[in-house]
Amino acid sequence: MTFDQEWAELRGQAAERAHTRLNTVTSPGSGGSAADSDLSVNRDDLGAIGHDAYELRTRLTRDGDHARPATFDAAIALTNESFASGSALLKVHDRWNTQLRTLLDACAQVSNHLNYTRAAHANDDVRIAGDLMSVSKLNQYMK
């Protein structure tokens, strides 16, 4: 088999596969169903998780810092009175603040990432639908 023959055969097979896929594409804007696609994103689920992460961050900001001032004051008072537990309590205070900030940042990242993911998938859907329409028109001219 020559290169030209093999190339023509491969081109024909590719056109058949593309034509078959294009014939199964749902109409633009319908979104298709989860069974029809390899990647399925339920935007409602992402929104709910992002919202929960945002609310958790809001509550942690308010409630997670509740005992900080009293803990700090107690650590300073114990240290000033030469109690060894004062420096240990100050370490607990500092560790709590570090861990709380880490958790707040993680909640913000989850919320922001899910919002970004929803927007990115919506943009991808629009781009892919446009690309498929272009390929469909090219396929008509190749017949």
SS (H, E, C) the chain: CCHHHHHHHHHHHHHHHHHHHHHHCCCCCCCCCHHHCCCCCCHHHHHHHHHHHHHHHHHHHHHCCCCHHHHHHHHHHHHHCCCHHHHHHHHHHHHHHHHHHHHHHHHHHHHHHHHHHHHHHHHHHHHHHHHHHHHHHHHHHHC
Mean pLDDT of the chain: 76
User: Residue 143: its pLDDT value, please?
Assistant: 59
Residues 16-65 have pLDDT tens digits of 665 444 444 455 554 445 455 555 556 666 677 878 888 888 998 888 88
Give the predicted TM-score (pTM) of the model: 0.51
User: Residue 22: its pLDDT value, please?
Assistant: 43
User: Residue 39: its pLDDT value, please?
Assistant: 54
User: Residue 95: its pLDDT value, please?
Assistant: 94
pLDDT band for position 128 (50/70/90)?
A: confident
User: Residue 34: its pLDDT value, please?
Assistant: 46
Residues 58-102 have pLDDT tens digits of 998 888 888 888 999 999 999 999 999 999 999 999 999 999 999
Delimit the domains of the chain by residue range.
42-142
